[in-house]
Amino acid sequence: MTYQDKVILITGASSGIGKELALLLAAEKARIILSARNEAHLLEVQAQCLSLTPHCHVLPMDITDERQVQEGAASAIAIYGRIDVLINNAGVTQRSKLIDTSPAAIRKLMEVNFFGPMMLTTALLPQFKAQQQGQIVVISSMAGLFGYPWRSGYNAAKHALQGYFETLQTEQPIPGLSTTIICPGRIHTDITYSAITGDGSAYGAMDPGQAHGIPVDVCARKIVKAMRNKKKLVLIARMEKVLLWMKRYFPPLFYFIARKGN
Q: Is 90 in the site for ligand NAP (CB under 6 A)?
A: yes
d(C-alpha 94, C-alpha 110), whole Å: 11
Q: Is 153 in the site for ligand NAP (CB under 6 A)?
A: no
Q: How far is the CB of 234 from ligand NAP (least distance, A)?
A: 12
Q: How far is the CB of 252 from ligand NAP (least distance, A)?
A: 26
Nearer to ligand NAP, 44 or 133 (CB): 44
Q: Is 18 in the site for ligand NAP (CB under 6 A)?
A: yes
Q: How far is the CB of 258 from ligand NAP (least distance, A)?
A: 16
User: Which amino acid does the sequence have at 119?
Assistant: M
Q: Which of 132, 129, 175, 135 is nearest to 9 (CA)?
A: 135
User: Which amino acid does the sequence have at 149?
Assistant: P
User: For every residue of 152-216, which 3-state class applies, written as one string?
Assistant: HHHHHHHHHHHHHHHHHHHHCCCCCEEEEEEEECCEECCHHHHCECCCCCECCCCCHHHHCCEEH
d(C-alpha 162, C-alpha 158), whole Å: 6
Given 7, 8, 15, 31, the residue binding ligand NAP (CB under 6 A): 15
Stretch that binds ligand NAP, among 8-16, 22-30, 167-175, 249-257 (CB under 6 A): 8-16
Catalytic-residue membership of 255: no
Binding mask 178-207 for ligand NAP (x = CB under 6 A): ------x-xx-xxx--x-------------
